[in-house]
Amino acid sequence: MLADLHTHTNASDGQLSPTELLTNAAAAGVDLLAITDHDTISGIAGLDKNIAPDCTVIPGIELSTNWRKIGIHIVGLNIDPDNTTLLAGIMQQQAARLQRSQLIAKKLEKLGFKDTLAGAVKLAGDSIIGRPHFARHLVDSGQVKTMKDAFRKYLGSGKPGDVRDFWAPMEDIIEWIHQAGGSAVLAHPAKYRLTNLKTEELTRAFRDQGGDALELISGKQDPTLTTRLGKLARRCGLLASCGSDFHQPGQPWAVLGEVAALPADCTPVWDNW
Ligand code: AMP
Ligand code: MN
Ligand code: MN
Ligand code: MN
């Protein structure tokens, strides 16, 4: 059973259309595919699931929040896309994204960059706007050399463009997911650059607020990390999830369908679906 429960489309900051994503996932042998765009479910709405009958599509979302002023992502899996509580929450997050993009632009302009809001908005088009669109604009307009540089110097964790205001609190986000019948997953716990102790505190806070599962595997990673996170999930009584966090072809650390098996002593999040 190959499950990839964390992927992006061009509804947010991914490159492929939902149809292309599903086609490619099926070709890669994925049995269970969750589409988890940032703060939107619009990618799932128009998708014809019959194009790949052997690949089950799980409606999902990746919602942004904060914990102790650190930007945290929570994945909602197996959600009812028509649930009104969740839809209202998504609208709130999308309004937050727009406010946030104005502040990001202001901060980038202060650093001397030009046309940042118009440039990012234009690149985003109908997609949900995010920091990658700002980074892409800076690179495309010749103001920064590479996407990597844009994040490392201006938009990444702790840099001026890393604006974390406006997001809904973690407990609200978990509640929306539950109202929509979904499972709340703490996404990529190793990517917040926390100490082991802080990661444990975050995981316990997430569990205490009703969280269901820990994402033990995020793309290509050291098996010892998987083992460590598996133990953490078991200690905290959380289920286990896994995904590539695929955004686009050509990123060897996040390949669609390249997801290692979960540790045998963990309970997969899909067990109770
Ligand atoms: P946002 O959702 O606006 O907060 O933007 C976060 C997204 O930016 C992540 O989901 C990644 O897709 C992307 N991202 C974060 N850090 C980097 C980085 N160092 N290089 C390239 N993309 C990044
Ligand atoms: Mn992303
Ligand atoms: Mn994420
Ligand atoms: Mn993601």
CA of 132 to the centre of ligand 1 (A): 6
Between strands 70-77 and 32-35, the pairing is: unpaired
Q: Hey, what are 168's tokens? A: 């809904």
pLDDT of amino acid 102: 97
156 lines ligand 1 (CB under 6 A): yes
Give the model's confidence band at 51: pLDDT under 50 very low, under 70 low, under 90 confident, else very high: very high
Between strands 183-186 and 70-77, the pairing is: antiparallel
Compute the distance between CA of residue 236 and CA of residue 45 in angstroms, rounded to an integer. Answer: 34
CA of 162 to the centre of ligand 1 (A): 10
How many CA within 13 A on the CB side of residue 266? 28
Closest CA to 184 of 36, 55, 45, 23: 36
pLDDT of amino acid 79: 98
pLDDT of amino acid 189: 98
Ligand nearest to the CA of 246: 4
CA of 131 to the centre of ligand 4 (A): 13
Q: Which atom of ligand 1 is least distant from the CA of 152? A: 19
CA of 200 to the centre of ligand 2 (A): 24
pLDDT of amino acid 128: 95
Mean pLDDT of 84-104: 98
Number of helical (H) and strand (E) elements in the chain, helices listed first:
9, 7
Compute the distance between CA of residue 101 and CA of residue 135 in angstroms, rounded to an integer. Answer: 12
Compute the distance between CA of residue 60 and CA of residue 245 in angstroms, rounded to an integer. Answer: 12
Ligand nearest to the CA of 136: 1
Closest CA to 23 of 52, 46, 2: 52
Question: Contact 77/269 with Cβ under 8 angstroms?
Answer: yes
Among residues of the chain, what percentage have pLDDT more than 70?
100
CA of 259 to the centre of ligand 3 (A): 16
Compute the distance between CA of residue 41 and CA of residue 233 in angstroms, rounded to an integer. Answer: 27
215 lines ligand 1 (CB under 6 A): no
Question: Contact 74/62 with Cβ under 8 angstroms?
Answer: yes
pLDDT of amino acid 272: 85
147 lines ligand 1 (CB under 6 A): yes
Mutate to test the pocket of ligand 1, among 151, 157, 164, 191 (most ligand atoms within 8 A of CB): 151
Q: What is the pTM of this model?
A: 0.98
In CATH, the architecture of 3-80+169-272 is Alpha-Beta Barrel (3.20)
| Nearest 10 degrees: Cα torsion 56, 59, 62, 67 | -110
| Class for the domain spanning 91-155 | mainly alpha
Give the model's confidence band at 94: pLDDT under 50 very low, under 70 low, under 90 confident, else very high: very high
Q: Which atom of ligand 1 is least distant from the CA of 130? A: 3
| DSSP tag of 128 | P
Q: Indicate if the pLDDT at residue 193 is higher than 90.
A: yes
pLDDT digits (tens, 9 = 90+) for 108-147: 999 999 999 999 999 999 999 999 999 999 999 999 999 9
Spatial CB neighbours of 91, under 8 Å, sequence gap ≥ 6? none
Mean pLDDT of 38-65: 96
Give the model's confidence band at 234: pLDDT under 50 very low, under 70 low, under 90 confident, else very high: very high
219 lines ligand 1 (CB under 6 A): no
**Strand boundaries in the chain, DSSP class E:** 3-4, 32-35, 56-67, 70-77, 183-186, 213-218, 239-243
247 lines ligand 1 (CB under 6 A): yes
Q: Indicate if the pLDDT at residue 192 is higher than 90.
A: yes
Where residue 261 falls (left for φ over 0; alpha for ψ -120 to 50; beta otherwise) is beta
Give the model's confidence band at 72: pLDDT under 50 very low, under 70 low, under 90 confident, else very high: very high
Q: Where are the domains of the chain?
A: 3-80+169-272, 91-155
Where residue 130 falls (left for φ over 0; alpha for ψ -120 to 50; beta otherwise) is beta
Q: Indicate if the pLDDT at residue 204 is higher than 90.
A: yes
pLDDT digits (tens, 9 = 90+) for 155-179: 999 999 999 989 999 999 999 999 9
Residues with Cβ within 5 Å of ion ligand 3?
73
Q: Indicate if the pLDDT at residue 46 is higher than 90.
A: no
CA of 62 to the centre of ligand 1 (A): 12
pLDDT of amino acid 31: 98
Compute the distance between CA of residue 93 and CA of residue 64 in angstroms, rounded to an integer. Answer: 8
Mutate to test the pocket of ligand 1, among 13, 139, 165 (most ligand atoms within 8 A of CB): 13
pLDDT digits (tens, 9 = 90+) for 240-270: 999 999 999 999 999 999 999 999 999 999 9
